[in-house]
Amino acid sequence: MKVGVIGAGQLGRMIALAGIPLDIQFCFLDPAPNSPAGQFCEHILSPFDDLDGLTHLVKSCDVVTYEFENVPVEAAEFLAQRVTLSPPPNALAVAQDRLSEKTLFVQQGMEVPPFRKVDTLEELESAVKDLGLPAVLKTRRMGYDGKGQAVLRSPEDVETAWEQLQGVPLILEGFVHFERELSLIGVRDADGNTVFYPLVQNTHREGILRLTLAPAPNVSSSLQESAEKLMKGLMDTLNYVGVLTVELFEVGGKLLANEMAPRVHNSGHWTIEGAETSQFENHLRAICGLPLGGTAVRGSIAMLNLIGEAPAHSDVMTFPETHLHLYGKSPRPGRKIGHITLLATDDRERAERVRRLERLIGV
Ligand code: AMP
């Protein structure tokens, strides 16, 4: 079995690392040389929308997937007409537009932050009137890690934010004073079987994920079940195959869906050592027609992202029950260059060990 992957970043690298023991071969397509996955796998150096590159991928692979959601939809459709592409292009199209995404969530019965479409300054002013301040103005497309958005706190911010973001389709969202951010990762195969990992708790700084606690502390089984039920509905509607992630805000015992990622996700990296089957292996199992693997968690797990530069390896390596992952990327401020997974027996021990590790590596 040979899997083609659009995008050869760290997610692709971890997909390959999960597939190699299963004797799955890989071919990545990415315009960047020396990419995290291309460093050790076959790599087509080509723009994502280049028909020659895509055709080469189709010819050499049994199935194709992707590791980032900004793959041009035309490229995905070109692939889907020629080879099995999972997740399907419709999921990609929905996830690329915050308005379609939120509209679909509402149709599925999911709660979402209040939102309005904004294409003109007049629409922005009337959306601000409807939703009140504070609010968050976001580009509908191509936003990631908090880029392409502005928080409006006072009426004076309205024009500044408009100046900053105008020119592309926008969405205004009511500001959610959430208690915490959670995410849910589910996997669906082509027969409609699904498995879910437990809800995890995510802490962001400057729009970038810093820490994931898995499972999230204090999640009732009814909250987990209702989140799974809604996500199953979403995956069935999209005829989804592969790993899907939904990012959520918890507020007053309710979950509001913020966005979805039709791919393996940073908040699931802990599954490599912390779950019976990793998200990466389960993604491959789903798209290759293999049985889905169990999602049981091995204790109380934390994942810390390494942003900008790596700590001294030896410091991390002498810390017990800790796993260091480096992505083969050169250090740069704000860049995700690796992560550390830390295993503990219970939430108290996890909290204490996370504090010690954070002190050790200086985050
Ligand atoms: P996003 O690109 O939508 O994932 O947003 C990046 C981060 O901004 C989220 O992880 C939240 O911490 C914050 N954020 C996004 N939307 C809202 C909102 N409507 N209310 C409050 N915070 C938000």
Could you write out the DSSP letters of every residue in 131-157?
H-SSEEEEESSS--TTTTEEEE-STHH
Domain residue ranges in the chain: 2-85, 114-174, 180-361
Instruction: Evaluate: CB of 136 within 6 angstroms of ligand 1.
Output: yes
Distance CA 136, CA 153 (A): 9
CATH 3.40.1160.10 fits 180-361, yes or no: no
Residue 61 is given by DSSP the state -
Cα 255 to chain centroid, rounded: 17
CATH 2.60.40.10 fits 2-85, yes or no: no
Give first-to-last CA distance, the chain, whole Å: 41
What DSSP string describes 174-241? EPP--SEEEEEEEEE-TTS-EEEPPPEEEEEETTEEEEEEESPSS--HHHHHHHHHHHHHHHHHTT--
CA of 146 to the centre of ligand 1 (A): 7
CA of 58 to the centre of ligand 1 (A): 36
CA of 142 to the centre of ligand 1 (A): 14
The closest-lying atom of ligand 1 relative to the alpha carbon of residue 247 is 4
Residue nearest to atom 6 of ligand 1 (CA): 146
Q: For each of the chain's 363 residues, which pLDDT tens digit applies?
A: 999 999 999 999 999 999 999 999 999 999 999 999 999 999 999 999 999 999 999 999 999 999 999 999 999 999 999 999 999 999 999 999 999 999 999 999 999 999 999 999 999 999 999 999 999 999 999 876 667 899 999 999 999 999 999 999 999 999 999 999 999 999 999 999 999 999 999 999 988 999 999 999 999 999 999 999 999 999 999 999 999 999 999 999 999 999 999 999 999 999 999 999 999 999 999 999 999 999 999 999 999 999 998 888 888 888 989 999 999 999 999 999 999 999 999 999 999 999 999 998 888
Distance CA 363, CA 360 (A): 8
CA of 145 to the centre of ligand 1 (A): 9
Residue type (1 letter), 52: D
Angle at 126 between CA 121 and CA 131, to 5 degrees: 120
Q: What fold characterizes domain 114-174?
A: Dna Ligase; domain 1 (3.30.1490)
3-class DSSP assignment, residue 55 = helix
Residue type (1 letter), 297: V
> Is the overall model pTM greater than 0.85, yes or no?
yes
